[in-house]
A and B are shown apart, each in its own frame.
Chain A
Amino acid sequence: QVQLVQSGAEVRKPGASVKVSCKASGYNFTSYYLHWVRQAPGQGLECVAEVNPRGDKVYNAQRFQGRVTVTRDTSTNTVFLELSSLRSDDTAVYYCVRGTSNWKGIDFWGQGTLVTVSS
């Protein structure tokens, strides 16, 4: 079955960087889009970045311009989200989400990774 397993919670100081991983299994990793979506405490959902099946970042929310890097390791079916120059308002749960193949959208979600930015 499709599974997206993310790395554990992280605590960083303002100005630091964080790298979150998402390991995919149960499907052909290189055939699907992958989205990163975040949810600040008590808030709604926001798209952070999107990568195509080739691993190219095809979307990056303007508010994160220059601060988001998405990479992947096809040998381990893992995608990484790195966010730099962290600010307190980057505190959120970050989810990796699989893009669908038969229609445009998203289907399976990772369990989420809480990133806390605090001095």
Chain B
Amino acid sequence: DIVLTQTPLSSPVTLGQPASISCRSSQSLVHSDGNTYLSWLQQRPGQPPRLLIYKISNRFSGVPDRFSGSGAGTDFTLKISRVEADDVGIYYCVQASQSPLTFGGGTKVEIE
């Protein structure tokens, strides 16, 4: 199975400042169809995860544009341009390029 490693484990951020989370894959996530199926999820405290970004950099419906994704191959990044109080939670990368789905270990975003 593909292993996804996220860094940092925890990211204390000042309100209004940017945050960045890295996700590294144990192998290339480029699918045989040429696409890269790497997504990012947000899990607020006490809630199920929700989809933020899919196929590296596409924002899902209703996701604010302060969230952006980038990367290629095995290295990916989620950026929050200006952290708001509502962004507190745990962020996960997830890959679907190879079955089974696998998830990163999560990065906790908290306000300093």
Interface positions, chain B 16-57, Cβ under 8 Å from A, are: 31, 35, 37, 39, 41, 48-51, 54-55
Interface size bracket, B side: 20 to 34
Q: Is the pair B97, A104 in contact by a Cβ cutoff of 8 Å? A: yes
Evaluate contact between B96 and A95: CB separation under 8 angstroms: no
Asked if residues B54 and A35 are in contact (CB atoms below 8 Å), the reply is no
Residue of A nearest to B90 (CB): A44
A50 at the binding interface (Cβ < 8 Å): yes
A50 in contact with B49 given A105-B37, A107-B60 (CB within 8 Å): no
B89 within 8 A of A: no
Contact of A106 with B101 at beta-carbon distance under 8 Å, contacts A45-B49, A45-B94, A112-B48 already known: yes
Tell me the complex Cα distance, A46–B104, Å. 10
Chain A residues with Cβ below 8 Å from B96 are 104-106
Instruction: Decide if B106 is an interface residue (CB 8 Å cutoff).
Output: yes
Q: Flag if B39 contacts A105 (CB, 8 Å).
A: yes
Q: Is the CB of B50 within 8 A of A109?
A: yes
Q: Is B92 in contact with A103, judged by CB distance below 8 angstroms?
A: no
Which residues does chain A contribute within 8 Å of B49, judged by CB atoms? 45, 95, 109
Q: Which of B31, B37, B49, B50 has the most CB of A within 10 A?
A: B49
Tell whether, in the assembled complex, residue A104 and residue B37 are in contact, meaning their CB atoms are under 8 Å apart: yes
A27 close to chain B: CB less than 8 A: no
- Per DSSP, chain A at the interface is strand
Partner of A95, one of B39, B48, B60, B97: B48
Residue B100 at the chain A interface, CB threshold 8 Å: yes
Per CB-CB distance, the 5 closest pairs between chain A and chain B, nearest first, are A45-B103, A104-B96, A109-B48, A104-B37, A105-B96
Q: Which residues of B pack against A, CB within 8 Å?
A: 31, 35, 37, 39, 41, 48-51, 54-55, 60, 92, 94, 96-97, 99-106
Q: Jot down 22 A-B pairs with beta carbons below 8 A, ordered by A.
A: A44-B106, A45-B41, A45-B49, A46-B103, A47-B100, A47-B101, A47-B103, A50-B101, A58-B99, A59-B99, A100-B54, A103-B54, A104-B96, A105-B51, A105-B94, A106-B94, A106-B101, A107-B54, A107-B60, A109-B50, A111-B48, A112-B48
